[in-house]
Amino acid sequence: MDDNTPGGWGVFAGLVLIMIGTFNAIEGIVALAAPSRLFVGEEKLVILDYDRWGWVLLVWAVLLIVGGGALLAGATWARVFAVTLALLNAIGQLTWIGTQPWLSVLLIALNVGVIWGLTAGWPANRQTSQQTPA
C-alpha cells in the first residue's frame, strides 16, 4: 500500500466528511426553500437572512464534499484541509444548537470523529508500521 492511499481511518474520515457535507447541503436547501421548517423562535438564528445563510451552507457543503473526496483520492493536501474543515464545521454547528440541538450535537461528534481519524488514527509512517521485525 502506498502512502497516498487512505487507510481505514482515512476512508472513514472521507466518507463521514461527505456525509456531513450532504447534511449541510440539505440544511442549506431547507433555508432557501422552506425557512419556516428551521424551527427558529423569536430571535434570529444567524446574522444573515435565510437566503444568504442557505447559500453559505450550500457553498460550505461543496467544500466539505470536495475535502472528503480528496481524502478518498489520497491527495497529500487533503488531511490538513479536511481537519480544518471539520474543525470549522464543528464550531459552525454551534449556531444550530439552540434550534436543533440533537442534530447539532450529532454533527459536532461526527466532526470530532473526522478530526480524530485524521490525526490520532492515522499512522505517522505506514511503511514502517506495517513491517514486522526480522
Decide if 133 is inside a domain.
no
pLDDT in tens, 11-65: 899 999 999 999 889 988 988 887 666 655 555 555 567 788 889 989 999 999 9
Please check the confidence at residue 1 and state whether its pLDDT lies above 50: no
Decide if 127 is inside a domain.
no
Decide if 28 is inside a domain.
yes
Overall average pLDDT of the 84-105 stretch = 87
Decide if 59 is inside a domain.
yes
pLDDT in tens, 2-18: 566 677 888 899 999 99
Decide if 134 is inside a domain.
no
Gap between the Cα atoms of 28 and 47, Å rounded:
15
Decide if 1 is inside a domain.
no
Overall average pLDDT of the 108-117 stretch = 92
Overall average pLDDT of the 109-131 stretch = 74
Specify the higher pLDDT residue, 132 or 66. Answer: 66
Q: What is the pLDDT of residue 99?
A: 74
Gap between the Cα atoms of 3 and 123, Å rounded:
10
| Least confident range of 49-63, 77-91, 117-131 | 117-131
Gap between the Cα atoms of 116 and 82, Å rounded:
11
Full-model pTM: 0.78
- In 34-100, which residue ranges form alpha helices assigned H by DSSP? 50-73, 78-92
Print the domain residue range for 107: 8-38+47-122
Place of cell 480544518: 84
Going by pLDDT thresholds of 50, 70 and 90, the confidence category of residue 93 is confident
Decide if 115 is inside a domain.
yes
Residue 47 corresponds to which amino acid? I
80: number of Cβ within 10 Å: 11
Decide if 102 is inside a domain.
yes
Q: How many domains does the chain have?
A: 1
